[in-house]
Each structure stands twice: as structure tokens, then as C-alpha cells.
Structure 1
Amino acid sequence: MNEDVLPEPDRAEGAPHPRETLHLMGQGAAEAAFLDAHATGRLHHAWMLTGPNGVGKATLAWRIARFLLTHQEVHEDGLFGAPPPPETLDVDPGHPVARRMLALSEPGLFLLRRGPNDKGDRLAQDIRVAEVRKMGNFFSLSAADGGRRVVIVDAADELNPQAANALLKMLEEPPARTVMLLIAHQPSSLLPTIRSRCRMLRLVPLGPEDMARALDQAGIDPGGDAAVLAELAAGSVGAAARLVTLDGVALYAEIVALMESLPRFDRARALRLAEAVAQRGAEARRSLLFSLIDLFLVRLARTGATGAPPAVEAAPGEAALLARLAPDAGRARLWAQVSEEVGSRARHGLAVNLDPVSLVLDTVLRIKQTAGG
């Protein structure tokens, strides 16, 4: 299969690609930190963009890349008559660099991401060393024009060991006028030597207002209560988009309603829920169901540990239910153990295609046993 027809590994299903998203919501502090480094001549050669999934790390990387490739001049502090430094990363979408980046034809940009597998018929599971070595050709070919070069790594978590070591060598001896932007969802999993050579930019979860604006920019109608959506998505736009697409807010409300009868077991209601996600074509909603059950258990454990339910009630009656089932730290530890146990079983069951109805019912029964003491 031609590589050009493979799906883009760094594009979330149902959402625009980060290079198509011009504005970033809720990450003003990270943007300001980068602009300050740029304006004061402290522009590091490598930056690691960290934070939860779906909060805009890739969007910020593309914004920084557009900015750098359209601001080639080097600022010198104290230079009399020098123009004031830019106050924003915004770039006119009509700028030639912006148009070329949108088309993936900008010669000053290299995008390191997963490529095709050995057969070329689908994407590889990780970023391989051959993809990193292509950067060497990029540096040699782009050096002639003397301009700035930018590398986006999306995502560094996906580098296999050989690729990680190859990237490390480039971080240790960076080419002149090159800035590398590494997107990392779990930086602790990366080589310490890679982390040590990068300046960190941490992005934060989005609040309800920023979440609503980000979804609107992506062409997604959040509907309902933006605060509930932001709570269930933990401030992640990517997670919120998935919840909207799969009607996840209503699904979580059904989970809470099912749990309200605990320690009694409403088998008929549990069976209806299980059968709804067991149908052909419901794989995504089935996966979401188990993610939301895990979220419910996490919220239970947190309630017991803190002595109070979360500030935002994510479904009708949730706060009272959490307080009843997790009244103290002892129950919190118990619910945390159950969360780990049922989560592991669900991941295994989904991976090996266990009967989904049985998997859902077994999960609910395990929760019932814990609720009954």
C-alpha cells in the first residue's frame, strides 16, 4: 500500500489535525514561557511539551513551528530601535510558510511520526530508527539555505529503543539554528538523557469555557453541560470529543443509575447496558463504557480518600452515591484495588474478544461484591 493513503498517526479520529488548528485554548502560560525565551535570546534547542492527552500539545508544537519559521530574525536585547518582540504565537494563515506547513511541503520543517510497517499496508506500532535517520537527510538538504529548521516529534513516547537512541545523538549534537519540539504524553517513560536535554513546557487540563471554545473551533457541538463534559474528560479536548461523538455523558449517567441500587444487583438493567455495547459496530462505545466504569471507581476512591465527592457532579445523584459507597479511607483503598483489578480484566477481555455481555456483567458483579462488603 502507498504510504500516502495510510491514515495519519498523529490525527485523532473525528477531529482536525493539529496543523489545521490555528488557535490554542487555555495554554497561555506555556505560550508565554516560550515567547519569553524567544524574546530574551534564551531559545533552547529542544523543548518537551508535556501534559495529559488531548490538551493541545501537538497544536502548540505546530503553533511554535509556524512562529519560528516565520520569525527567522534573531532578537538582541537592548538593541536601540529594535522592534518590540512578538506578544503572540499567532501567524497569518495566508503566510506562505503557513500554507506550506498545512500542505506538509515546508522545507524548513521535519515531522517525525510513525511510518508504515514492513509490508507497507498499515502503520507501524512505534517510531522506528529508519524514520529518525531521515532527519539526517533533512538536515543536510536544508543546511544550504542557512535558515531556521524545526523538528516536531509526535509522539516521543512512541520511539522504539533504537529510534530513541538515534534521536538522543541528535539532541546531544544539535545542528545549528534548529529547534526540536518533542510531544510527550508520559515523559517519565522516556530516556532520562532525552529529558535532560529538553526544556519542559507543561500544558494543563482545560476548564469548561476553554473546553467549549476548543470544541467549537474543531466543529464539535458539545451540547448539554460544558462543566460536566470537562469533568468527565479531565480537561482533555480529545477525550471530550470522544465523549460527544459516542454520547459518553449519557453513558456515564446510566452507569451511575445502575450503581445506585448497590449493594443490590439490578440484573435487568445491567443486561440492557451490556447488550447495548455488545452489538456489531459498537466496539468504540464498548471501550468507552469500561473507561467510564474505571472513572467511576477512581472517583469513588478519591471521595473516600478526601472525605468529599468531586466538586462537579458528573451525573444526577452521583455525589450522594459516591459518599455512601466510599465513606472513609479504608473503602477508598478497597475501591482503588477494585479499579486496578477490573481495569486489567477489561483490557484483557477487550484484547482477546471475550463475550462482551459476560465481560460487562462480571465487572458489575465484582463492583457489587465490594459494595456489599
Structure 2
Amino acid sequence: MSTPADTWPRRVENALPALPFVLLVLSTFAATVIDDRTAPGPTVALAAVTAVWMIALRNRPRLAPIYVTGLLVLCAALVTRSPLFGFFVFVGYLSVDNLPGGWKAPPIIVTALLSALCQSGGWPLQDYALPGLLPALAVVNVLVSGLMFVVALRTEEREREAGAMQERQRAAREIHDTLAQGLAGIVAQLEAAAHARSQGKDDEGHLHAATQLARDSLAEARRSVRAIRPHELEQARLPEAIEKVTTSWAQANATPARFTTTGTPRPMHPEVEVTLLRAAQEALTNVARHARASRVGLTLSYMEDMVTLDVRDDGVGFDPSRHGYGLTGMRQRVSGVGGELAVESSPGEGTAISASVPAVPA
């Protein structure tokens, strides 16, 4: 997932789709203006056909073999018009992303040979261009492109392995957080039921809440295994999801809790939204277990570059240097998306938790 520090790389990545068209325009202009061997009319027409071909098929992964084959044929035709189309031929290397594994090799080799032909002066070979260099240039281009191909394959394999590891870690963290929060809530309800029973009061409401928490936690853990977004975020936007969690928590714990939103809510990257939702749930779970608070306040703030969740309570507080796994897991989750978690508390002074994450759009 991206962070504000990745703004420039993201801009470069977003500009890449326009690169083939820029190279085509520049190559066509150079070929028709500089190369006196090139007839402008047919050259411009062939370049226009190439542009239409790219627009029509480049974003259709299922047609990738047809697209790449046709593009290389058009590149070869353009090279016969002028060697200055060697600038455009480079897009052959960029066109193989949607081809599987070893099927990328033939287009890369053809692109390397076309590049060597352009470097040798184009077709037909000219005496002044030292046509004898063509075999040597072809070997050099094929070797360099082959090395690029091998490196790209290894990088792709490492990225797949890293992605699989991250997904396993994500699923494990989701399951742990879901079960930990659920079990903590169940324990809190059972303790409340025992306290009510000791005072001769009705404990049925607390027992019902504990049963419902157990069912919800089990269902959410199963959803995490299937890599489905939390059901709160499937049914509503992030502010509504946190508000619903807050309302349910307040009812189950008989503690006033208020949720507010500042700024203009907008869809965020799924990891950002899940992180903030889990932070709210974990913070409320901690309040129920430890704070003995009389009121709780949650604020979700949308800013230009950040989204912040603040959770405050007027409970007994604690020493932030001595905290359990809940806050540690929350901090790891927040830092995992490039954010920061701040905790302010002291015994008898309540607690304030602030989770700030990059405002990465959906």
C-alpha cells in the first residue's frame, strides 16, 4: 500500500500508460521531418493504425497474445519506414506484462532484434551505417534484454512470495484480532453478569450479549479466513461502520459512547478502513475491560493527507509504558499501513488514543 512518501513513484506509474503514445508521436515526427527517405503520408497513416491498435487492445489481458503479435508486426513495418522508430520499438518490452511466464521471451527477443536493426541504420541496410554491425548489435541487444527478462521473472516471483506471506500474516492478524476482541468482550459481559447476580439483579442481558459476541466473533473469524472485508464495511461506509460499532458497544456495556466525524468523508484504501475500524473495536474493548469509564468519545477526522481516529475515555487510566498485547497489536496494525499510534494516559486521568494513517484513496 502506498503512503504520502510514495507520491512521486505513483505519479510515474500513472504516467506510464501514456509513454507508448508519446514515443510514437516523437518517432513519427522525427521520421517525417528528419529522415528524407521516408514518405510522410504512408508513415503517418501506419503510425495512426498503430495508435488505434494500442487503444483498442492494450487493456484487454485476455487478448494479450493477439495484441503483442500485432504490435510487433506494426513495429517492424514502422522500422522499415525509418530507423528513427527505434525510439518507439522500446514499447515492445513494455507490452508483455499480461503474457504468462516464458511466453514473454519471444516478444522480448523480437523487440531486441528490431532495436538492433534500427541501431544499424534501418531497412534496407545502408552502406554508411556499417551493416556488418547488425549481428553484433543483435547479440548485444538479445543478451541485455534476456538479462532484463530473467531479472524481471525473479523479481515477479519474489513479489508473489512476499504477497503470499503478507496475505497469510494479514489473515492471521485478522483472526487473532477478531477472536481476541470477541473473547475480551465475552469476558467483560460474563464478569458483568456475575456482578449483577451477586447483587441479586437480572443477568440475562449480559449473558445474551456474551452469546451474541461469541457468534459474531466466530463468523468474523471465518470471514477473515476467506479474505472478506469485515461485514461492517461491506454494509456501510467507514464512518457509519464505526458509529454502528460504537452504538452496539454502548448498549452492550451500558456506557454512554458518542461518535462524531469531522472533515469530508471519502472512500479510503481497504487496508486503511479496516485498520481504523479494528482500532476503534480494540480501543472500545480495552475500555470495557480496564477503564471503568462513565463515558467514551470517538472522533473520525478526514484531513487532506491523513485520516485520524481519536478515542477518549474518563476511566481510571494506566501507565502507557506498561501495556498489554492489545495496544501492541493496534500499533503494529497502524504502522503496517504507514501510520502512527499515540497513547496518552496516566492513572486516574483517563485515556486518549489517536490512530493516524495516510489518506490513501480507494
Give the number of the structure whose alpha-carbon radius of gyration is greater: 2
Q: TM-score if structure 2 supplies the norm length? A: 0.31
**Which is richer in helix?**
2
TM-score (normalised: structure 1)? 0.31
Q: Which has the higher contact order (CA 8 A, sep 6+)?
A: 1
